[in-house]
């Protein structure tokens, strides 16, 4: 008899556990956008003077800068990392082509980060889910990549034809020891709405973070992280920025080999803040900060 009741008790416990797990999975519905996402691939940053930012990146911050070339109404350069992530710096040359027009218009408002590029395994999977959600999008492709851009989203998805390709060691070996783009920070006018928006696009809400006593909402996409900061709380991070009442991309987290090595290379300045876990460098003219972590 005791064995009978013991068995029934075990079955009851198993059933309760199943109910709890079912409830958890119901709260986080399956998303093919989440399953196909790899990481934040890169972020375009529009600037007025490409030579000026190249000099700052290489001479002051000790990045290896890869030159681009004029095309589609823009000229660009890159900071490439070993894991394939990168930052792209762009200046518009001609507002006639669509790309040149976009960056010309953006630059009338401010310099800085413009949008998120999300690397995915399958652009077709992205299209399928966006259609299912009745989200309008445009798409493009060539021999190197396929892109899908939801309307009015400030992000686009990119699938590479060669998913294992990385830039050369010459272009990804940085004197400052930078290894990868890990996170992007965004100032939001409405964190609740933006959390919902990014959830629709395959991001997962994973909690909160604090940077310089500024609270931020943390969202994951693939192996990367997106932080949303409420605009009214972000002044401590953005008070020196040239753009007032900023919303949008405001910072990047970069992984480095050694904070100690980086600290010795950076100038002593009020735009550099150092603690045991990170180094912050403020590019106020460009409305950005760089957070370096190990």
271-288 average pLDDT score: 96
Would you state the pLDDT for residue 236?
86
Q: Which tens digits make up the pLDDT trace of 4-22?
A: 445 545 554 554 444 444 4
The alpha carbons of the chain give a radius of gyration, in whole angstroms, of 22
Q: Model confidence at 27, in pLDDT bands (50, 70, 90)?
A: very low
Yes or no: domain 176-293 corresponds to CATH 3.90.226.10: no
Strand pairing report for 116-120 and 155-160: parallel
The CATH architecture to which 33-160 belongs is: Roll (3.10)
Residue among 105, 102, 104 at smallest CA distance from 93: 104
Which residue carries 């964190």 as its tokens? 191
Are 33-160 and 176-293 in the same CATH fold? yes
Q: Model confidence at 266, in pLDDT bands (50, 70, 90)?
A: very high
204-216 average pLDDT score: 92
Q: Where do the structural domains in the chain lie, given as residue ranges?
A: 33-160, 176-293
DSSP 3-state of 144 = coil
Would you state the pLDDT for residue 19?
45
d(CA 168, CA 188): 36
Query: Percentage of the chain with pLDDT > 70?
Result: 90
Q: Which tens digits make up the pLDDT trace of 50-107?
A: 999 999 999 999 999 999 999 999 999 999 999 999 999 999 999 999 999 999 999 9
Q: Kindly tell me if the per-residue pLDDT of 26 is higher than 50.
A: no
Strand segments, DSSP code E, in 28-114 are 37-46, 66-67, 74-80, 86-92, 112-113
Would you state the pLDDT for residue 211?
86
Q: Which tens digits make up the pLDDT trace of 112-161?
A: 999 999 999 999 999 999 999 999 999 999 999 999 999 989 999 999 99
C-alpha distances in angstroms, 9 versus 1, 6, 19?
12, 5, 15
C-alpha distances in angstroms, 223 versus 37, 41, 42, 194, 203?
8, 10, 13, 20, 11
Are 41 and 117 spatial neighbours (Cβ–Cβ below 8 Å)? yes
């Amino acid at each position: 008899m005791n064995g009978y009741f013991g068995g029934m008790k075990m079955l009851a416990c198993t059933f309760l556990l199943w109910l709890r797990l079912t409830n958890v999975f119901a709260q986080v519905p399956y998303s093919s956008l989440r399953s196909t996402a790899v990481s934040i691939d890169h972020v375009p940053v529009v600037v007025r003077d490409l030579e000026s930012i190249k000099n700052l990146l290489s001479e002051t911050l000790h990045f290896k800068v890869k030159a681009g070339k004029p095309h589609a109404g823009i000229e660009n350069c890159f900071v490439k990392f070993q894991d394939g992530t990168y930052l792209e710096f762009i200046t518009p040359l001609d507002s006639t082509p669509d790309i040149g027009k976009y960056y010309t218009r953006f630059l009338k408002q401010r310099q800085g980060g413009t949008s998120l590029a999300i690397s995915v395994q399958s652009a077709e999977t992205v299209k399928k889910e966006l259609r299912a959600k009745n989200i309008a999008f445009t798409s493009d492709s060539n021999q190197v990549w396929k892109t899908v851009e939801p309307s009015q989203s400030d992000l686009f998805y990119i699938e590479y034809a060669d998913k294992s390709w990385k830039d050369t060691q010459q272009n990804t070996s940085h004197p400052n020891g930078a290894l990868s783009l890990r996170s992007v920070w965004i100032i939001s006018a409405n964190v609740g709405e933006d959390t919902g928006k990014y959830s629709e696009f395959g991001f997962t809400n994973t909690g909160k973070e604090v940077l310089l006593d500024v609270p931020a909402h943390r969202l994951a996409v693939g192996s990367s992280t997106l932080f949303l900061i409420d605009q009214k709380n972000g002044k401590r991070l953005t008070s020196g920025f040239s753009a007032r009442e900023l919303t949008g991309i405001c910072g990047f987290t970069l992984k480095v080999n050694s904070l100690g090595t980086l600290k010795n290379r950076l100038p002593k300045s009020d735009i550099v803040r150092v603690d045991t876990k990170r180094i912050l460098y403020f590019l106020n003219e460009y409305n950005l900060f760089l957070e370096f972590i190990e």
